[in-house]
Amino acid sequence: MRTIYSKGILNIAASRASASDKGMYATRDPRLIRPALIHGRDCFDLSDELYLLVQPEFAEPGYSHPPLNERGWVYQERILSPRVIHFEEEQVLWECCTSALCEMYPAGFDKTIDRGILVPPFELPKKQTCSGLAERWKRYTNLVEHYRAQQFTFPNKDKLAAFAGIAQHICHEFDDRYVAGLLRSQLPTALLWQPPNRRQIRQAYMGASSEEYRCPSWSWAKVDINRLDDGWSCGLYTFNPLKVSKPQVNILSMEVTPVDPSNLFGSLKSAHLVLEGRLLPWTMISSTDKSMQWILFDGEKEAHTAKSELFVVPFCAT
């Protein structure tokens, strides 16, 4: 995947299509995306100015989440391709690693519009653009945050496989090691990721278990996300991982067994981490917020409620 799309000249995306028989072209009214010029006076009624009215929702590739961009396998196709032309419902758009253009903004997007996604549109981290580990962490986390909300027909089989091209690029570019969706250079802090809301924790760890292995529970790829769920947040961490002090645990060993021994970035048979840290007693204090009164342990179906005596291993300090 990585070489197919990264070495291509141009990727044409039928972004509006919800199925393979829908095609690229839509019946549309071009006037809807045409900027409107109007004359108006300022608040002091002193000068007559010419104003340009636009619709920001038409000025961003994928802003309205067209069907194709929701699909998990399409994500790395878009990220890895040097250039993409999107045929969306309202207009045609262009993306490359240096610019994003559309029919409404043929000279480029207005910098005052909050685009809210990858900026530049889908630039991969590279040595010459990443000043250090902090910038690399930020870029990789950004890619993961958007990818983990993609939809899959067979998530157990495809969740890691459809991200393999991006992971391979980053590990090759920065001489890093890939560990079930995480980068070795970011461990152990990267283990402290979060799902968007507590309901999805329950769905992942307390729901019906699948006989088909996907990944270890400490990988973000374990949780399936629906961006339409209540409480959706794309943030992967509740803290700033770049401000974390020295980790409080040591990684003694790690073992990752891929389904295909020749592909270290694809689907997994198993993965294990062995950590060394301090075990500390901890007592939960009852809270008026019932949703906060449980802790779920890996491999258990029942949650531990308030006032339970627990032992914890601190991972890091901020």
- Domains of the chain, by residue range, sit at 1-122, 124-275
The Cα angle at residue 185 between residues 138 and 274, in degrees rounded to 5: 125
Can you give the pLDDT at residue 291? 54
Can you give the pLDDT at residue 285? 61
Confidence of residue 247 (pLDDT cuts 50, 70, 90): confident
Q: In what order do the strands lie in the sheet with 11-13?
A: 11-13, 83-87, 92-96, 100-102
Taking only the tens place, the pLDDT of each residue in 64-87 is: 567 887 888 988 988 898 888 888
- The answer to whether the Cα torsion of 2, 170, 177, 197 is positive or negative is negative
Exposed, middle or buried: residue 90 (CB in 10 Å: 0-12, 13-18, 19+)? buried
Find, among 9, 1, 6, the residue nearest to 124 by Cα. 6
d(Cα 45, Cα 32) in Å, to the nearest integer?
A: 30
Q: Say whether pLDDT at 114 is over 50.
A: no
The lowest-confidence range among 78-92, 128-142, 218-232, 283-297 is: 283-297
Can you give the pLDDT at residue 197? 64
b/e code 34-59 from CB counts within 10 Å (16+ = b):
eeeeeeeeeeeeeeeeeeeeeeeebb
The percent of residues in the chain predicted with pLDDT above 70, rounded, is: 68
d(Cα 196, Cα 228) in Å, to the nearest integer?
A: 11
Q: Say whether pLDDT at 171 is over 80.
A: yes
Helix (H) or strand (E) holding 145: helix 133-147
Exposed, middle or buried: residue 254 (CB in 10 Å: 0-12, 13-18, 19+)? middle
pTM for the structure as a whole: 0.78
Confidence of residue 224 (pLDDT cuts 50, 70, 90): confident
Confidence of residue 115 (pLDDT cuts 50, 70, 90): very low
Question: Average pLDDT of 7-36?
Answer: 81
Per the rule left: phi > 0, alpha: psi between -120 and 50, beta: everything else, 175 is left
Residue with tokens 């629906």: 226
d(Cα 273, Cα 245) in Å, to the nearest integer?
A: 21
pLDDT averaged over every residue in the chain: 76
The lowest-confidence range among 100-104, 202-206, 308-312 is: 202-206
d(Cα 56, Cα 59) in Å, to the nearest integer?
A: 5
- Asked if residue 240 lies in contact with residue 184, where contact means CB atoms within 8 angstroms, the answer is no
